[in-house]
Amino acid sequence: MTIRAKMKSPGLLFMATLMCLFLALPVYGEEKKEAAAVAAEEAAPKLEVSLELGRVTYQHYCTPCHGVKGDGNGFNAPHLLVKPANHTDSKFMSERNDTKLFDTINLGGVEVAKSTLMPPWGAALGDEKIKSLILYLRELCKCQATKNW
């Protein structure tokens, strides 16, 4: 009996070591993940609001509906029940101030009593890209807001 127990103990010790490793590994993994997230945040360049950033963001996210020229004739437009706005229409665009444009892009059409077919972009884009988009929209319409609402 005692001999048997002695023979088993190295196996038990081995098992115990393995269990400790298994328990410790996820903790080590979490620490590594956290360090990676911090490093990524530090490495991410701070976005500057600019016309160029607006142009690139518009081409990527807005042209499927609003069109490459911004005139509302994107390839997706014929499939929508509501026609996407024509951003080159200076009369239409000058009736919207920058705050209203920000709210529309950030929270979607429904926020400004317009169609839900205009999606909300805040979560995907963030403030800097939305402000850059507004610079680009003002270039597309060659206009500024004429009224303050």
Q: Rounded CA gap, 112 and 83, in Å? A: 16
Minimum separation from the CB atom of position 80 to ligand HEC (A): 5
**By CB under 6 A, residue 24 contacts ligand HEC:** no
The residues, any chain, with a CB within 8 Å of residue 80's CB and separated by 6 or more, are: 65, 117
From the CB of 96, what's the least distance to ligand HEC, in Å? Answer: 5
Residue 33 is a binding residue for ligand HEC (CB under 6 A): no
Q: Which of 73, 115, 122, 145 binds ligand HEC (CB under 6 A)?
A: 115
Sign of CA dihedral 144, 115, 109, 77: negative
Using the minimum distance from each CB to ligand HEC, give the nearer residue, 29 or 119.
119
Q: Which two tokens stand for residue 72?
A: 């509302």
- In whole angstroms, give the CA distance from residue 110 to residue 104: 8
Residues that bind ligand HEC (CB under 6 A): 61-62, 64-66, 76, 80, 82, 84-85, 96, 101, 104-105, 109, 112, 114-115, 117-119, 121, 133
